[in-house]
Amino acid sequence: MAGNDTLTIAMPKGRILREALELFEEAGYPVEEGRFESTRKLTVTLPEAGLSFFLSKPGDVPTYVEYGVADLGVVGKDVLMEEGRDVYELLDLGISRCRIAVAALPDWRPTLHPRVATKYPRIAGRYFLEQGEQVEIIRLNGSVELAPLIGLADRIVDIVSTGRTLRENGLVELETVAVVTSRLIANRASFRLKSGAVDRLCSRLAAVVTGEGVRT
Ligand SMILES: Nc1ncnc2c1ncn2[C@@H]1O[C@H](COP(=O)(O)OP(=O)(O)OP(=O)(O)O)[C@@H](O)[C@H]1O
Ligand SMILES: O=P(O)(O)OC[C@H]1O[C@H](OP(=O)(O)OP(=O)(O)O)[C@H](O)[C@@H]1O
């Protein structure tokens, strides 16, 4: 287990980081956003806040938390659903909102052997199983919107936020699979052994998220 009183938090390096740091700041933790900018450092320790962050790929955050090298993590619900790790989900932070959707070219028609391209094979597999439709899932690592354009798949399952990527590639959204926001997650042992610090952080963040404000 990481540290004693300090909480170690795994954070994605990308778009979630800035919004999450703003929440921590509003919750009364002096996280000094500048310390995270224009640096290649992957760890940022803030003794005055009692927090230590490390920055990782989003898909790895639940892994670090399950194994207890991070007490807590901030991660999109999409990643949690896909990774299926054994962690506690403590709080919906309401940030980095987007959705997972099925999309296709407008002239898409059902075929005998449907193929679906996605970065989320487990989520997509489960979704089509629930729909009672048998499809072949093709896993890609990004630029998923390319797949229908070049004939790799007839549909995709991917993140939609503004809808710009779909629009600019001439694709239409067919169904919403899940609405996604970022979550605060916890290692099971840390949740018990560091309950004081975890409860404090969680209730302060909850007050900010629900708009109640933080009483210090
Ligand atoms: N337009 C979007 N595209 C992708 N993810 C989004 C979008 N809007 C919100 N999100 C959320 O942000 C998360 C990805 O952002 P994050 O800060 O974790 O890393 P990233 O470096 O931007 O992602 P990646 O390494 O996957 O490109 C997703 O898991 C999702 O929950
Ligand atoms: O609806 P929009 O606002 O256009 O956002 C959605 C796009 O953003 C993400 O891609 P990202 O930029 O992370 O690149 P990737 O395709 O390589 O994953 C996602 O996979 C979509 O492609």
Query: Which of 77, 68, 122 is CA-nearest to residue 99?
Result: 77
Helix, strand or coil, per DSSP, at residue 20: helix
Mean predicted lDDT score pLDDT of the chain? 94
Which among 98, 99, 158 is the best mutation to test ligand 1's pocket, defined by most ligand atoms within 8 Å of the CB? Answer: 98
Of residues 13 and 102, the one with the higher pLDDT is 102
Which ligand approaches the C-alpha of residue 123 most closely? 1
SS3 call for 73:
strand
pLDDT at 2 over 70: no
pTM, full prediction: 0.94
Residue 216 banded pLDDT, cuts 50, 70, 90: low
Cβ–Cβ under 8 Å, residues 51 and 31: yes
Ligand with the closest atom to the CA of 96: 1
Kindly state if the Cβ of 15 falls inside 6 Å of ligand 1: yes
Average pLDDT over residues 81-110: 97
Instruction: Report all structural domains of the chain as residue ranges with CATH numbers, in order of start.
Output: 7-96+182-209 (3.40.190.10), 98-180 (3.40.190.10)
pLDDT digits (tens, 9 = 90+) for 175-213: 999 999 999 999 999 999 999 999 999 999 999 999 987
- 3-state SS class at 137: strand
Instruction: Tell whether the torsion through CA atoms of 99, 105, 110 and 112 is positive or negative.
Output: negative
User: Which of 36, 96, 122 has most ligand 1 atoms within 8 Å of CB, for mutation?
Assistant: 96
Cβ of 147 below 6 Å from ligand 1: no
Q: Judge contact between 204 and 26, C-beta under 8 A.
A: no
Distance CA 79, CA 85 (A): 10
Residues 2-9 have a mean pLDDT of 76
ipTM computed for the complex: 0.95
pLDDT(39) > 50: yes
